Amino acid sequence: MASLRDIKKRINSTTKTKQITKAMEMVSASKLNKAQANAQSYEPYTEKIREVVASIAAGNSDASHPMLEERSVKKTAYVAIFSDQGLAGGYNANLIRAFINEVEKRHQSTDEYGVLVLGRVGRDLLKSRGIPILDEITGLPDEPVFNDIKNITKRAVKLYEDEEVDELYLWYNHFISPIQQTVTEKKLLPLTDISTDTDTNQTYEYEPSAEAILNQLLPQYAESLIFGALLDAKASEFGARMTAMSAATDNADNIIDDLTLSYNRARQAAITQEISEIVGGAAALE
């Protein structure tokens, strides 16, 4: 049986851990609010580009671009968004598990695909499993701006434009609520799912031509989808970390309660034993 001193030490250490997890929970909650606001404020920009691109595709039969056309697939690239830090529950584990399962179904060898990875945790997990990494970026801030990932987004799009890869997919955790994030896959290139059913009465005049506008907008649109997914993933990360730290705080409370009960019982037993020894000693002197 543990001594009173040992139990007291465990209570103190668990209390300190609880203070840390509670602080991390509060910090994550604050960051979550900012991340949600950033993701929501970015959506109109992406939607407007999509609207213009869809309008060109629907109303200009002469306008075409390789990014809108499917081709025979020889190699696939994936953009996978993870976190730079742990302590976020199953945020990274769920994503890596789903990603590897899907890759193993689609490809027979590592020569058929490569990954552009964002986040230190994801990079380390992929490397440990022998997944080919085409490019990586780590150390992203909690509130990223496009310049933070500009190089890797341009690299991803250029791989497709140069026909080094024939399709490009995006993997990340989509934010639903602080307690729910869904592993999501989106096909980035070719852009075959741009809706031409634009519910708007606006008309556009293109100068110098619709094709020239497509050449400019399509790469930006693909890059904006990656950045938008990063903002969404950041909200998911902070939501997952807030939930994980809340659960850790609750567990610490339960452990402290159990240890306090054990401490009181041990203390009571020690006092009872001392009384018994005193009574026994007094009886022996009579």
Q: What is the pLDDT of residues 147-156, one digit of tens each?
A: 999 999 999 9
Give the span between the Cα atoms of 119 and 125, in whole angstroms.
Answer: 10
Half-sphere exposure of 16 (CA within 13 A, CB side): 5
Domain CATH for 168:
3.40.1380.10
Rounded to two decimals, the pTM is 0.86
The number of folded domains in the chain is: 1
In a domain, 262, yes or no: no
In a domain, 181, yes or no: yes
In a domain, 73, yes or no: yes
In a domain, 276, yes or no: no
In a domain, 187, yes or no: yes
Give pLDDT, residue 195.
60
CB 59 within 8 A of CB 51: no
In a domain, 285, yes or no: no
The CA–CA distances, whole Å, from 135 to 110, 139, 163, 232, 253 equal 15, 14, 17, 21, 43
- Please give the structure tokens belonging to residue 194: 């741009």
Q: In which residue ranges of the chain is pLDDT below 50?
A: 198
Give the CA-trace dihedral at 65, 68, 70, 74, to 10 degrees. 80
Q: What range defines the domain where residue 82 resides?
A: 25-243
Q: In the β-sheet with 76-81, what is the strand arrangement from edge to edge?
A: 133-137, 113-118, 76-81, 167-177, 180-189
pLDDT tens digits, one per residue of 182-202: 999 999 988 877 665 545 556
Q: Cα 116 vs. chain centroid, distance in angstroms?
A: 15
Q: If you ran DSSP here, which 8-state letter would residue 163 be given? A: T
In a domain, 277, yes or no: no
Q: What is the mean pLDDT of the chain?
A: 87
In a domain, 127, yes or no: yes
What residue type is 88 in one-letter code? A
